[in-house]
Amino acid sequence: MYFCAMVRKLIIFLSIVSILSTWSCSSYSKLLKSTDNDAKYEAAVDYYEKKDYNRALELFDLLQSAFRGTNKGEDINYYSAYCYYYIEDYTVASFYFKRYAETFPGSPRAEECMYMNAYCYYLDSPRPSLDQSNTNLAITELQVFMDAYPKSEHIPGCNILMDELRDKLELKAFNIAVMYYRMEDYMASITSFENLLKNFPDTDRREEVLKYMARGYYEYADRSIPSKQRERFEKAIDAYNSLLYMYPDSEYLKGLEKTVNLISREKLEKLK
């Protein structure tokens, strides 16, 4: 008996939900076809506040032209940006946030929207193994925001985001250089490591980079024509000496000693 009663209650509950859902869909369909723009606006804001962003966005899109140049029009642009943000369409959201800030530069919301524009680019930045175009755009947009609002409360957070994005670019560059090394394309590997040190002078990977450069220069020299070998062997020694000077306790030194010993002074003299 208890089981049957529970089943009946469940059936009644599902029926009520179905009826309410049908009524809601019917009501929403009528609203879309309505010519009462004020009613549509109020409903759109209500949907937004209830976190039904897809329905809110559909209504806001219908109202863009109707309220252009009015306070409601400004609000529609603002709400639309956040609708796209909350449904995680960060590319479109960034466009709307930036458009709002540029269209309403005197608004108290302009700073917020410029920050959100940059933050959306940050969220759209992919993992290091993928193309980093959006990462570079995120850095650019964050810098634009910081230059425009140097006293903003978001500045400390922006610096943290910038560091994270730069770390991602550095890791991408490092992985590419290591890939070239493992492919035995030593010239491309050395160039990539040199660019990494130039673009990221404060890198925490310098010790490992110097190890790869010492080995890379040696392998590159060993495969070079005699007239190029001396210079490239000397660069291998330079990389080793830099590692020894900067990281005297480096675990890589012992492994490199054998490589350096192969480049004897007598051998270099013969390559003059």
Q: What is the pLDDT along the chain (272 residues), one digit of tens a residue?
A: 544 444 454 444 443 334 334 444 567 777 777 777 888 999 999 999 999 999 999 999 999 989 999 999 999 999 999 999 999 999 999 999 999 999 999 999 999 999 999 999 999 999 998 999 999 999 999 999 999 999 999 999 999 999 999 999 999 999 999 999 999 999 999 999 999 999 999 999 999 999 999 999 999 988 888 888 888 888 999 999 999 999 999 999 998 988 787 775 656 666 56
**Is CATH 1.10.540 what the domain over 183-272 is classified as, yes or no?**
no
Whole-angstrom distance, CA of residue 241 vs CA of residue 243: 5
Q: How many helices (H) and strands (E) does the chain have?
A: 13, 0
142, 162 in Cβ contact below 8 A?
A: yes
Output the CA torsion 131→137→142→145 (10° steps).
-170
At 66-121, the pLDDT tens digits run 999 999 999 999 999 999 999 999 999 999 999 999 999 999 999 999 999 999 99
Distance CA 178, CA 171 (A): 10
Between CA 165 and CA 173, with CA 171 as vertex, the angle to 5 degrees is 105
- Provide the whole-model pTM: 0.80
